Amino acid sequence: MERTLIIFKPDAMNRMLVGRILTRFEEKGLRLAAMKMQRSPREQVERHYAVHKDRPFYSALVEFMTAGPVILAVLEGPQAIAVVRNLLGATDGLVAAAGTIRGDFGLDVQYNLVHASDAPETASKEIELFFKPEELITWDRAPDRWIVSR
Ligand code: IDP
Ligand code: MG
């Protein structure tokens, strides 16, 4: 089992796509371990995207991610990090494959709807940045025995 952090970005919130996108994750079989809505403090967004601080799009990205409330969630499942990245598709909605979330719902490289962790080390750092340990919930979900056989 792996956990990954996802953020419904302000464009997904304002375009009222959160429910439809969350449904994709649920339909895949991924299980929520945490979820909350917040206005992200600028400093937290800057830490989250620190790896991009020298890129030309960094300040616009921080502006975007603080332009309105977001929904944060932790999803879990086998290889959840790669599974969720595959569901999202390429960063740029213009080139993301049809059938992926970004490919189906977006046309933009910045406004690409959802963030998802890209590796185990970043996932645990990001979960720690946005959630307190007691906000993470381990639970038995009724259909799980029909979703994962191993
Ligand atoms: P990812 O979200 O697919 O991992 P990253 O390369 O890590 O993509 O970039 C982080 C975020 O920065 C993207 O999700 C997107 O919102 C924004 N971004 C990435 N590349 C560009 C760009 O070339 N122009 C404007 N914004 C960008
Ligand atoms: Mg990234």
Structural domains of the chain sorted by starting position, each given as residue range(s) with its CATH number in brackets: 2-139 (3.30.70.141)
What's the pLDDT score for residue 6? 98
What's the pLDDT score for residue 5? 99
What's the pLDDT score for residue 79? 98
What's the pLDDT score for residue 18? 99
C-alpha–C-alpha distance, residues 124 and 127, integer Å: 5
Q: Which residues line ligand 1 (CB under 6 A)?
A: 52, 57, 61, 91, 109-110, 112, 115, 118
pTM for this one? Answer: 0.98
Q: Which residue ranges in the chain fall short of pLDDT 50?
A: none
C-alpha–C-alpha distance, residues 76 and 117, integer Å: 12
Collapsed DSSP state (helix, strand, coil) of residue 42:
helix
What's the pLDDT score for residue 50? 98
CA of 51 from ligand 2 middle (Å) equals 9
Ligand closest to the CA atom of residue 94:
1
Tokens of 131: 């959630």
C-alpha–C-alpha distance, residues 10 and 66, integer Å: 8
What's the pLDDT score for residue 150? 78
